[in-house]
Amino acid sequence: MLLRGLYQLLSMTGIPRLVFRLMMDRRVPLWTKFIIPAGIVYLILPFDVLPDMVPALGRIDDLLAIVFSVGLFLALSPGKVVSEHIRGTPAGDGNDSNDEDSPKSSVVDGSFRYLDDDEREKRG
């Protein structure tokens, strides 16, 4: 009952969708992705910091574990990736498109050649 109400509250903010998208994104480190399952494992395990037999406080530590794990996951995920998912821009696999007309383009055209040791000494 408590979890269903929490899920409905979070669904209005879009946080579950954001967490799911970040969990599926390859740019989020694997160790960061383990935070959410750790929070779920704490929720499922029968032993808690405050036992569930304590009327109200027993459920609060479970709630805090989930909220803390989601907050920590979002805080430790790369900021650029999180902002892309919040804005709704298409998430790439880390490869930015480099259009020639784009002001963000970081491609530099050029040429090069290898110099032998003799050529380096002549220039040096």
Say if 121 falls within a structural domain: no
Across the range 106-114, mean pLDDT stands at: 79
The per-residue pLDDT for range 82-100, each reduced to its tens digit, is 989 888 876 554 444 444 4
Q: Which helix (H) or strand (E) holds 35?
A: helix 35-44
Say if 63 falls within a structural domain: yes
> The whole model's pTM is what?
0.61
The DSSP symbol for 124 reads -
Say if 49 falls within a structural domain: yes
pLDDT at residue 81, rounded to an integer: 92
Amino acid at 73: F
Say if 48 falls within a structural domain: yes
Backbone angles phi, psi at 5, to 5 degrees: -65, -40
Largest CA distance in the chain: 85
Contact 70, 36 (CB under 8 A): yes
Task: Please state the domain count of the chain.
Answer: 1
pLDDT at residue 23, rounded to an integer: 94
| Confidence at 20, pLDDT banded by 50, 70, 90 | very high
Say if 52 falls within a structural domain: yes
Say if 120 falls within a structural domain: no
> Which residue range(s) make up the domain with 78?
2-87
pLDDT at residue 92, rounded to an integer: 53
